[in-house]
Amino acid sequence: YVPSYALRATLWAGYTIIQGIFGTGLWVLAHECGHQSFSPSKTLNDSVGWFCHSFLLVPYFSWKISHGKHHKATGNLERDMVFVPRTREEHATLKGYVLHEMHELLEETPIYTAGNLLAQQLFGWPMYIFANISGHNNHTKQPEGKGVGKKN
C-alpha cells in the first residue's frame, strides 16, 4: 500500500509500461516462431510459439496459417487475408458521401486516429478473438486459401 495517490498512480503507470514492453517482446518472439525463424527446429519453433501465443491469449496455429497467407499476398487488394482497405467507392457507399468526405478530412488527425485505435483495441480485437471476424469475403480469389463458399 502506497499512501500517496500521485506516487501510486506513477508506480501503476510505470508497471503498465514495463508490462507492455515485456508483452511486446514476447509477441516478437512468438511472431518469429510463426515464421520458423526462431530456431532451425520446426518442433521447437511451434512449441515456443504456442506457449508464447497462449500466454498472450492468441491462438498460435490458426494465426500462423493466416499470417503466412497474409505474407503471400501482402498489399494485394484482392488476395490479402487481413489488411484489406476498402476502395474509395466501397467506403463512400457504405458510409454515405458526407461521412466519406469527413473521413477523408479527419483520417490523419490525432484525435480521429486515437478514436480508431481505441475502437480497434476495445471492439476489433475481442471480435477477432471470440468470433473470428477479420479480413474480407473475397475468398474465391485466393488460390492459397481454397475458400470457395467461405464467409467471415
**What 3-state DSSP class applies to 96?**
coil
Radius of gyration of the chain (CA): 20
Amino acid at 133: I
d(CA 30, CA 45): 9
Residue by residue, pLDDT tens for the chain (152 residues) are 889 999 999 999 999 999 999 999 999 999 999 999 999 999 999 999 999 999 998 889 988 988 888 888 777 776 776 666 667 777 677 667 777 777 778 888 899 889 988 998 898 878 777 776 665 566 565 555 555 555 55
Question: Would you say 152 and 133 are in contact if contact means Cβ atoms under 8 Å apart?
Answer: yes
pLDDT at 58: 87
pLDDT at 84: 67
Residue whose cell numbers read 512449441: 47
pLDDT at 82: 67
A 10 A CB-CB count for 68 gives 14
Tell me which residue of 26, 49, 25 sits closest to 37, measured CA to CA: 49
pLDDT at 134: 60
